[in-house]
Amino acid sequence: MTELDLRETLERQLGGVDVPPGDPLLAIARGRRRRVRRRVLTGTAAALALAGVAAAGVTLIPSESDDPTTARYASLGPLDFSQGARAYADPGHELHLAGRTFPAKDLDYLDTDATATSYGVVFFDRGRPMLLGADGEVRALVDGPVEAMGGFHPTAKADSVNPWVAYATRRGTTTTLTVHDLATGTDVASTTVDCGRCEDLVIDAFDDGVAYVRTDERTWAWFSATGVWQDAAGPKSRIVDVRNGVVLYDGLPPSSTIAVDGHPLNEIKAPVDAQLTFDGRYVLDWSSRLRSTDGSPDLVLQQGPEKGNGFWAIDSDGSVLVAAPMGGQGYEVYDCAVPSGACDELGPLDPKGGDPEFIGVDM
Amino acid sequence: MQPSEQEFAELFSASWARLFRLAFAVSGDRAAAEDDLQNAFAKVYAQWGRVHRADHPEAYVRRMVLNEVLGGRRTGFLKRERPHAQVEPPGAVASPERSVVDRDAIWAAVRALPARQRAVVVLRYYEDLSEAEIADALGCSRGTVKSQASAAIAALRRTAPDLVREEP
């Protein structure tokens, strides 16, 4: 038998396989869910950098991060985050932020991998956490050299209790997890993380000063107040969100009971892209009907479908942003209060660049 | 349907059958192959901009499919029924045509290979990819492809001793 026979064998065996019909609409529906979770790079420079990473594997991106210049960021003028960031976009075309509208190219550094907070939007510039603040200016949250390494995207998460944000940075072979106070501009706590190249490091959740950090092996809870690490979940579990004593998880239940201030978290199973309201009482899962976590009635928002092609996200102030389809005429965006469910109309959005995106409120 | 969805649907329709056969060949399990392929296409849609900009979108999608299939092997492989070379393949009957029997035995031997070796064999002899293309598809070095291919051929040769390795 020759290799030609091997080719013929494979052709004959595989050519005779009965191929099931694929379902592109199912793939699109699932893909939409994934899309809001992944990093969407709309800027040309960022896209080129990503292409370079894809081509070179984990090659370091040449970093200019020794000099955390903010010169490339034009001042936007004052931004009112008091009603939440209210950040949503027609990808590549226009971006709405704090009640104002900008051409997408002017804010191409903001994407769904950013984190909206009450003090502005935290995003990463070549591995360095930055803050677009209420004064419309961008400033670096970390000084000194940091590295932007392909595959290192731990993201940042905001605390709903404190004015804090948790992020990770890479410097040399050291990965540092930091809790930063956005109100005072100071670091609250930091620790190093032993995770090798840390390409699988992700901060899955952060609430009440406790960061839930996932590596390729497990998920750990880091209590920033005490510096204590606690095993939280095994590799077949995923911490989806944590708010006010409630933990959402996907997969197997967390391997050990997590307790904050002596109170075990209430474990609720939910899809990996679900979110909790800040009070921990409701699960937002692609519907304007938010599932109760405590046995009380579900919360039904005044706007948006209970099933169908809408888009939802928890805003930085704990309200729910809804992009409700308008019968083929794009979307109407609403900001809905919790727990009343009352909604304010923010305006229409007729995307030309794909599905609506909520910037900085990644589900 | 938005323009990007239309383009996605066209790619999906054009490539589904071939990629299913590839996924099935590597996974050895129809249901797992279908699930993996649907999941891979969901990721393709989620990253449509990146896929669309790729020099070779089809190769990019194939790599995502292989990632999905081989990623699932860690658990799926143990569950699936693994044909054994000494087990009579379904439908195989005594035949005066030795080549037919040989092909069934070779197919069983291919399916019994470790997943990555099987992937290398299928990409080389079914997809007709070069070593460099296989390395790209599997996200490994050309040296790894060479060593996996050598190990696979050696295993197959135990079933068909006269199998001759041709240099790519």
pLDDT digit string (tens) for A180-198? Answer: 999 999 999 999 998 877 8
Q: Is A71 on the interface with B (CB under 8 A)?
A: no
**Average pLDDT in the A119-127 region?**
91
Q: Coil, strand or helix: which one is B55?
A: coil
Instruction: Quote the CA–CA distance of A107 and A296 in Å, as a whole number.
Output: 41
The nearest CA of chain A is from the CA of B1 a distance in Å of: 10
Provide the residue type at B74 as one letter: R
CB contact under 8 Å between A23 and B42, yes or no, is no
Question: Does B96 score more than 50 pLDDT?
Answer: no
Does pTM top 0.80 for this prediction? no
Torsion of CA B162, B163, B165, B168, to 10 degrees: 140
Provide the residue type at A282 as one letter: Y
Q: What are phi and psi of A49, to 5 degrees?
A: -60, -40
Q: Which residue of A has its CA nearest to B104?
A: A9
CA angle A42, A48, A53 (to 5 degrees): 115
Name A242's Cβ contacts closer than 8 Å, sequence gap at least 6: A205, A206, A207, A210, A212, A248, A265, A276
Using an 8 Å CB-CB cutoff, list chain A residues near B102. Answer: 1, 5
Question: Does B94 score more than 50 pLDDT?
Answer: no
pLDDT at residue number B165? 53
Q: Are B110 and B28 spatial neighbours (Cβ–Cβ below 8 Å)?
A: no
Question: Averaging pLDDT over each range in A18-27, A125-134, B25-34, which range is the top one?
Answer: A125-134
The nearest CA of chain A is from the CA of B143 a distance in Å of: 16
Residue count (chain B): 168
Q: Is A39 on the interface with B (CB under 8 A)?
A: no
pLDDT at residue number A160? 93
Query: C-alpha distances in angstroms, A347 versus A300, A341, B116?
Result: 21, 18, 52
CB contact under 8 Å between A9 and B110, yes or no, is yes
- Identify the residue with better confidence: A52 or A153: A153
Q: Are B60 and B51 spatial neighbours (Cβ–Cβ below 8 Å)?
A: yes
**Average pLDDT in the A304-324 region?**
91
Q: Which helix (H) or strand (E) holds A174?
A: strand A174-181
Q: What DSSP letter does each residue of A250-265 carry, written as one string? A: EESPPSS--EETTEEP
Q: Is A20 on the interface with B (CB under 8 A)?
A: yes
Q: Is A328 on the interface with B (CB under 8 A)?
A: no
The nearest CA of chain B is from the CA of A311 a distance in Å of: 15
Instruction: Quote the CA–CA distance of B12 and A23 in Å, as a whole number.
Output: 9
Which residues share a beta bridge with A290? A299
Instruction: Quote the CA–CA distance of A89 and A79 in Å, as a whole number.
Output: 16
Instruction: Quote the CA–CA distance of A34 and B55 in Å, as a whole number.
Output: 23
Q: Which residue of B has its CA nearest to A42?
A: B49
Instruction: Quote the CA–CA distance of A105 and A44 in Å, as a whole number.
Output: 9
Q: Are A170 and A198 spatial neighbours (Cβ–Cβ below 8 Å)?
A: yes
Task: Give the ipTM of the model, two decimals please.
Answer: 0.77
Question: Does A3 score more than 90 pLDDT?
Answer: no
